[in-house]
Amino acid sequence: MGKLHALLAVEPDKKGAAEKILAETINTFNKKQDHFTGQLRQYATVNDGDIERFDDEKKAMVTTVREKLNYTETSLIDLIDC
């Protein structure tokens, strides 16, 4: 168990970091929903005689909801433990 003066010294830093991460998480869920969706488009020719070909389009997910919540949870738990 840490000393009281040591805990009082780090508490504002941990609180600030947790608030920043929580605000970032709320912003991501409200305004950046495309971070949680991936997409793969594959084009196939209908006629073998077609000259025009398209490349496949692939968009990977930036993160998952579970990863984002775990990241936020870790910082909040660290603050509560302090």
Contact between residue 39 and residue 58 where contact means Cβ atoms under 8 Å apart: yes
Instruction: Tell me the C-alpha to C-alpha distance, in Å, between residue 67 and each of 8, 51, 62, 73.
Output: 30, 44, 10, 10
- 11-68 per-position pLDDT tens digit: 899 999 999 999 999 999 999 888 888 888 887 777 766 667 777 888 888 888 999 9
Residue 63, pLDDT score? 87
Instruction: Tell me the C-alpha to C-alpha distance, in Å, between residue 29 and each of 43, 50, 71.
Output: 31, 43, 13
The count of structural domains within the chain is 1
Residue 50, pLDDT score? 65
**Domain that residue 10 falls in:** 4-81
Q: Which of 51, 54, 52, 34 has the alpha carbon at shortest distance from 43?
A: 54
Strand ranges inside 1-82, DSSP E = 39-41, 57-59
